[in-house]
Structure 1
Amino acid sequence: MAGLVALACGLIVALGAIGACIGIGMVGSKYLESAARQPELIGPLQIKLFLIAGLIDAAFLIGVAIALLFAFVNPFAG
């Protein structure tokens, strides 16, 4: 049972990291694309970029916290 919990924790962290990397990469590429098309909007777009990147990172960190919960205070253990 402990091995399955460790595997699940690893999958939660790994898939969350992959998703966050892909998400931030897509947001960053769209920011550069739009900044190249309309340079006068770089300031407002940059604010939105950092806000969205922070939210994506926060979702990943919530996944890490849930994985740590399962690893150390397993609610499913008898």
Structure 2
Amino acid sequence: MNADPSVIAEIVGATAIGVGLMLAAAGLGSAIGWGLITSKALEGIARQPEMRPQLMVNMFIFAGLMESFPFILFGVSMWFLFANPFVGTLASMAGGG
């Protein structure tokens, strides 16, 4: 018994939609995070200008940590697209599993 190609196409299509939503949410979250980080750093600099170097260093450290999440999510989404575990599960179930 072989896996039906239309079922595989549905799985791949649904996975592509899910990956698109994942990447859109990561991009939106990253943009909001950058905006919040920079606005709070500018507020701190406006309140205490002598703290500018320390605030800038902290801003870039936190921005780097925040920016790593979309890249991790990008790697996971590429795994879903190119090594789709759902298609493999369907194939093993259809193969007599």
Q: TM-score, normalised by structure 1?
A: 0.96
Determine which structure has more spread, i.e. the larger CA radius of gyration: 2
- 1:39 aligns to what? 49
Asked if residue 18 in structure 1 is aligned to residue 28 in structure 2, the reply is yes
The question of 1:66 aligning with 2:82 is answered no
The residue type equivalent to 1:65 in the other structure is G
* Distance (Å, rounded) in 2 between the aligned partners of 1:40 and 1:52: 20
Detail structure 1 runs of 4+ shifted over 4 Å in the superposition. Answer: none
Structure 1 residue 56 displacement after superposition: 1.0
Give the Cα–Cα distance (whole angstroms) in 1 for the partners of residues 86 and 57 of structure 2. 42
2:15 alignment counterpart: 5
Unaligned stretches of 5+ residues in structure 2: 1-10, 91-97
Aligned residues: 78
RMSD over aligned Cα, in angstroms? Answer: 0.7
Equivalent of 2:65, from 55, 62, 70? 55
Output one character per residue of 1:45-73: Cα deviation in whole Å (capped at 9) or x when no partner: 11110011111110111111111110001
After superposition, give the CA deviation of every residue in 1:19-49 in whole Å (9 maximum; x if it has no partner): 0100110010000001011001100111110
The SS at the match of 2:86 is: coil
Report the counterpart of residue 3 of structure 2 in structure 1.
Answer: none
Equivalent-residue separation in structure 1 for 2:74 and 2:30 (angstroms): 12
Instruction: State the one-letter code of the partner of 1:40.
Output: E
Structure 1 residues without counterparts, runs of 5 or longer: none
